[in-house]
Amino acid sequence: MKTVHSASYEILREQGLTTIFGNPGSNELPFLKGFPEDFRYILGLHEGAVVGMADGFALATGKPTFVNLHAAAGTGNGMGALTNAWYSHSPLVITAGQQVRSMVGVEAMLANVDAAQLPKPLVKWSHEPASAQDVPRTLSQAIHMASLAPRGPVYVSIPYDDWACAAPAGVEHLSRRQVSNAGQPSTAQLQALAERISAARHPVLVLGPDVDSSGSNALAVQLAEKLRMPAWVAPSASRCPFPTRHRCFRGVLPAAIAGISRCLAEHDLILVVGAPVFRYHQYAPGDYLPADCELVHLTCDPGEAARAPMGDALVCDIALTLQALVDVLPQRERPLPSALPLPTPAREEDGLLSPETVFDLINQLAPRDAIYVKESTSTVSAFWQRVAMSEPGSYFFPAAGGLGFGLPAAVGVQLATPGRRVVAIIGDGSANYGITALWTAAQYGIPVVFIILKNGTYGALRWFANVLEVSDAPGLDVPGLDFCAIAQGYGVHAQHAATGTAFAAAFSAALAGNRPVLIEVPTLTIEP
């Protein structure tokens, strides 16, 4: 007899979801019974780290990734990480074990009451099958929902007595289903868009994370070069969609209304591709657009298109649309923009390394195709100025700003891309939110280089406290942390590097090896 259990694993296998990230509880054990040899289970010690690792894996592969959480409590533990997955369009297929059906109504221990409502609004779709026979179809729907544009996490609650039930007739059709996107603009839409761009005297390109996730980085470069226009990265950048040493590159826009208008003031057309318009953060009111300027928005997300406060939007496939624009737009006859000047060496103070010095050394020593997973929010600007990134998929940052992304995501990204080295640059405040991912890195031999920038404070929060004139707020400092001792306790080799020479030696050795390494670096506190 084919069971719900065997039919579900067949669907997962045929759809390529053979890596499972989880932290099991009693409700999940029947699903894990007879775990197939061609699957691998990646254990995390906390559900926040589990979701973070799966998020990194999904972002790096671009494919749906399976997560198994424990009932309501495990789902709650993973919700912080889920905020980042939601805003980064990460295609996570999240399942949670539910109490047996006959015990849910009486709210027995580990019953997930009103389970489908729990993860909202941080998922595209959430469901608990009405019967055991509908579990395989629900899993199939979840996989395709997560994969269709705009990609995003989905959630399925499954009573644990469902797995042993007989599978329904016709279940074999589910594993073979393929569902695809088709989102190229019509000929008329493309012509109107091209005419509008061509008519602009001084257009500017603003690129977002979906350019990188769709593998369209080279097309963005071709478009910028063809139109001789500067290229900015959209504010609150979670990925790097454009080479940072290219002559057209201008940096990352500030996450403030007035700041964006000020940076783009000289342009008459802003072409935003693959980003929301815009992800603001600091409250700095002003005009949404510079005077006499228009905005055109190309996005894969209807929600982003609908909620934007200005401009005209076209919901489309990013890669297909960029390729069509590159093919149809005429070459502009004017020089390329001048390259940004390289930053000058940083000055050291009080015997501590500056983050800028650390980034300069990383830039010198890391492989050209290194992948950076970044969660040191107070050093974002310095990082973008000093570290060259030229390859697609080279940068990941928490899309919602939720701490706890960096350490686990780095493990997931490295697991997904064994041919490239992952360098995780994490603040000492951020590191504690996902610290248990070090155990997973050690147990599975995942060779991430973890660099902890240790300044003893929540640097970005301290900057905000000064901006908001609340510098006397408690809880801004985190003294007394020994990350070398913590890492060694989890089984990760660790070194303390207090000088540039010591850091260069430790970093070079870590890159030359094939095991996870943590390097703790005492640094100055700088402004974001």
Cis peptide before 392 (omega within 30 of 0): no
Q: Which of 5, 46, 70, 297 is catalytic?
A: 70
Q: Radius of gyration (Cα) for the chain, nearest Å?
A: 24
Q: Which of 8, 22, 25, 48 is catalytic?
A: 25
Distance separating alpha carbons of residues 191 and 325, to the nearest angstrom: 9
Q: DSSP H helical segments within 427-516, as ranges?
A: 428-431, 437-443, 459-467, 483-490, 500-512
Distance separating alpha carbons of residues 254 and 376, to the nearest angstrom: 17
Reference 25, options 154, 143, 160; nearest CA is: 160
| Catalytic site includes residue 401 | yes
Q: Which of 10, 47, 128, 294 is catalytic?
A: 47
Strand arrangement of the beta sheet that strand 92-98 belongs to: 40-43, 19-22, 65-69, 92-98, 154-159, 125-127
| Catalytic site includes residue 26 | yes
Tokens read off for 131: 């019967």
Residues shown for the chain = 528
| Catalytic site includes residue 493 | no
Q: Which of 5, 8, 10, 28 is catalytic?
A: 28
Distance of CA 459 to the CA centre of its chain: 21
Residues in contact with 429: Cβ distance below 8 Å, sequence separation at least 6, in sequence order: 403, 457, 458, 459, 461, 478
> Coil, helix or strand for 193?
helix
Question: What DSSP line would sit under 388-412, residue for residue?
Answer: ---STT-EE--TT--TT-HHHHHHH
| Catalytic site includes residue 25 | yes
Distance separating alpha carbons of residues 271 and 296, to the nearest angstrom: 5
Q: Which of 401, 406, 434, 459 is catalytic?
A: 401
Contact predicate 467/282, CB 8 Å: yes
Phi, psi for residue 389 in degrees, rounded to 5: -130, 125
Pairing between β-strand 371-375 and β-strand 40-43 as defined by DSSP bridges: unpaired
Q: Which of 16, 26, 303, 513 is catalytic?
A: 26
Q: Which of 14, 175, 183, 281 is catalytic?
A: 281
Distance of CA 54 to the CA centre of its chain: 10
Active-site positions read 25-26, 28, 47, 70, 281, 401
